[in-house]
Amino acid sequence: MGIEAALSTDSILTTQLQRVINWARRSSLWPMPFATACCGIEFMATACSRYDLARFGAEVARFSPRQADLMVVAGRIGIKMLPVLQRIYEQMTEPKWVISMGACASTGGVFDTYATVQGCDQFIPVDVYVPGCPPRPEMLMEGIMAIQRHIDNEGIPPKGPDGRRIPLGLTVEPTYTPRPQPVPITIGR
Ligand code: SF4
C-alpha cells in the first residue's frame, strides 16, 4: 500500500492495539441502504465514480444486514415498512451506526400524513442527520466522516447504564445557501 516504500525495511512501527482496531473499523464501514425513495438515488450517486464513496472505505453496500454495520435510511418510511426497518436494524452486526438521510427520513418531510413515520429516530437510534431534499452526495459523505471521526476517537457507540444504545445525534451543516425562489408571478392582462 505504499507504506513499504516510505519506511526502510528495518523500521519498527509501534501503536496501541485499540487505535489499530478503530482505524480498521472506521475504514471499513459497510452500508446497508434502506432506500425507499428519491434520496436513494442520491445515495447511488454518492457510491458512483463521480463522488466515489470507496475513497472512504464505505462503498461495499450490502443488502444482507448481517454483513452491514452502517444503516443509511434514505427516503420516507411508511408505517407498514417500519417493522421491516426495525428488523433489519436489529439483524445488523455490532457495533452499528445509523444515518438519517434527507428530510423524509428525519421528519417525514412534506408527507405529514398518518401513513408516514414522522422521523425514524422515534424507532431506531440515529447517529447522524443529513439535512436536505435530497442532500447532496458531499453532505452524505460528511455524515459518514462524522461517524468515522467518532470511531477514531471513541471506537464503539456509547451505551447507557442500562445497556441501551445512546444515539450520537449529530447533524451535518448544509454546505450551501438556498437560493431565493424564482421571480414573483405576475399576471398580465
Ligand atoms: S427528502 Fe426529498 S429527495 Fe429525499 S426522499 Fe424525501 S422527497 Fe425524496
Is residue 5 one of the residues assigned to a domain? no
Taking CA atoms only, the protein residue closest to ligand 1 atom 3 is 134
Grid coordinates standing for 60? Answer: 461495499
User: What are the phi and psi torsion angles at 130 (to 5°)?
Assistant: -115, 110
**CB distance 45 to ligand 1 below 6 Å:** no
**CB distance 108 to ligand 1 below 6 Å:** no
**CB distance 137 to ligand 1 below 6 Å:** no
Ligand 1 atom closest to the CA of 39, numbered from 1: 4
Is residue 7 one of the residues assigned to a domain? no
**CB distance 102 to ligand 1 below 6 Å:** yes
Q: Which of 46, 104, 140 for mutating ligand 1's site (highest number of atoms within 8 Å of CB)? A: 104
Is residue 109 one of the residues assigned to a domain? yes
- Asked whether 157 and 128 are in contact (CB, 8 A), the reply is no
Q: What's the DSSP call for residue 116?
A: B
Is residue 20 one of the residues assigned to a domain? no
**CB distance 37 to ligand 1 below 6 Å:** yes
Is residue 4 one of the residues assigned to a domain? no
Handedness of CA 8, 9, 11, 17 (dihedral sign): positive
pLDDT in tens, the chain (189 residues): 565 566 566 666 667 788 888 999 999 999 999 999 999 999 999 999 999 999 999 988 988 999 999 999 999 999 999 999 999 999 999 899 999 999 999 999 999 999 999 999 999 999 999 999 999 999 999 999 999 999 998 888 888 898 888 999 999 987 777 677 777 777 776
The pLDDT tens digits of the residues spanning 10-33 come to 666 667 788 888 999 999 999 999
Cis peptide before 95 (omega within 30 of 0): yes
Residue with cell 526502510: 8
- Expressed in angstroms and rounded, the spacing between residue 72 Cα and the centre of ligand 1 is 13
H/E element, 97: strand 97-101
**CB distance 107 to ligand 1 below 6 Å:** no
Cα–Cα distance measured from residue 140 to residue 128, given in angstroms and rounded to the nearest whole number: 10
Exposed/middle/buried for residue 182 (C-beta within 10 Å: 0-12, 13-18, 19+): exposed
**3-state class (DSSP) for residue 75:** coil
Q: What's the number of domains the chain is made of? A: 1
Taking CA atoms only, the protein residue closest to ligand 1 atom 6 is 104
Grid coordinates standing for 79? Answer: 408505517
CATH number, domain with residue 140: 3.40.50.12280
Is residue 153 one of the residues assigned to a domain? yes
Task: Starting at the earlier edge strand, list the strands of the sheet with 31-35.
Answer: 31-35, 70-74, 97-101, 128-130, 170-171
Give the N- to C-terminal CA distance of the chain in Å, as an integer.
Answer: 70
**3-state class (DSSP) for residue 184:** coil
Contacts of 95 (CB under 8 A, 6+ apart): 25, 69, 155, 156, 157
Domain that holds residue 76: 29-171
